[in-house]
Structure 1
């Protein structure tokens, strides 16, 4: 197993925070990495470091859709950010339907009896993991 193999980065983009997950070196599983605070300084620098550290080969951005499949303002903002990411890193960027990923992550943390304060710290990271794992599972080549 090549620990320096290029990885896939998954992002759960919110107005205040970006949850970040990364694939394992084989591209089979997603692990949560961190949460980037978009309100604290230049958050692009934090993303730059992660792209470099994990030798990212492609990026998956969660696309929030309404339950009927349409895009609202948040979905449009994610599309615009995905395009900025594509331009900044010259990497393939995939939009992945993230409907209910944050709700599923929140439910998982509640079921684990995690306090509200701790849930707030990790829910975006766990949502990014759900998004990336969904993408990985749907695109697995056997």
Structure 2
């Protein structure tokens, strides 16, 4: 069994979810709202220390037709920074429509729940039962 953290990266907020490969169920964990990159990575360092995940999953936003855009590049950079700073494996998961699913349900985007959808997509597509 491995613990896995999922991230919904945004410029203002980063949604975080947690799950494990045994039950393969993602749960919203928290939203990081630090104003600076140093603050964001300090919060992430604390989460990594607490949860000790085997890997991290980062949502990769794409246009509906699969074309990359500015936030795609920022998310790739964030994923590279996670792996480089903390030495933990990071995988990217197509997050098209994850925030839209939450928006349709709640009327607003909830970042930690979007992270849970991203992480659940990873479990559904990549983890063997």
Q: Please confirm whether the aligned pair reaches a TM-score higher than 0.5, indicating the same fold.
A: yes
1:1-142 mapped onto 2 (5 Å cutoff): 6-24=2-20, 26-39=22-35, 42-110=39-107, 119=108, 123-142=110-129
Three-state SS of the structure 2 residue aligned to 1:66 is: coil
Check whether the contact 1:60–1:95 (CA below 8 A) recurs between aligned residues: yes
1:36-68 CA deviation, whole Å, 9 max, x = no partner? Answer: 014166111111111111111100000000111
The answer for unaligned runs of 5 or more in structure 1 is 111-118
| Post-superposition offset of 1:25 | 6.7
Check whether the contact 2:34–2:40 (CA below 8 A) recurs between aligned residues: yes
- TM-score, with structure 2 as normaliser: 0.92
- Runs of 4+, deviation exceeding 4 Å: none
Bigger CA radius of gyration:
1
* Alignment root-mean-square deviation, CA: 1.7
> Distance between the aligned counterparts of 1:27 and 1:48, measured in 2?
25
Quote the residue 1:115 is aligned against. Answer: none
| Post-superposition offset of 1:140 | 2.3
- TM-score, with structure 1 as normaliser: 0.84
132-141 or 36-45, which deviates more: 36-45
Count matched residues. Answer: 128
